[in-house]
């Protein structure tokens, strides 16, 4: 009985490995995250201005972090 359990486990691992390999090889290039207000590039075409998009995203993240930090400020205990 132990042999059947071990054989089943090995078979399951082989199947999972084959599925993972197939998904890794068939997946296309990952899509770029969209930025609100920016036009999406056509498939197979690079974005018009990647640097501007990156700077816009960085600015949005910085503003969100600053707003969160302002909301978390506690009054002084003096």
pLDDT of 51: 84
**pTM of the entire structure?**
0.34
pLDDT tens string for the chain (78 positions)?
778 889 999 999 999 999 998 888 876 555 555 555 555 655 555 556 788 888 899 999 999 888 888 876 666 665
CA 29 from chain center: how many Å? 12
Is residue 47 within 8 Å of residue 31, measured between CB atoms? Answer: no
Contacts of 56 (CB under 8 A, 6+ apart): 35, 37, 38
């Amino acid at each position: 009985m132990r042999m059947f359990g071990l054989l089943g486990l090995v078979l399951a691992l082989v199947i999972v490995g084959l599925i993972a390999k197939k998904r890794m090889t068939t997946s296309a290039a990952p899509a770029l995250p969209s930025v609100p207000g920016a036009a999406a590039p056509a498939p197979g075409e690079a974005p018009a201005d990647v640097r501007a998009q990156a700077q816009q995203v960085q600015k949005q993240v910085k503003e969100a972090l600053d707003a969160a930090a302002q909301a978390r400020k506690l009054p002084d205990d003096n």
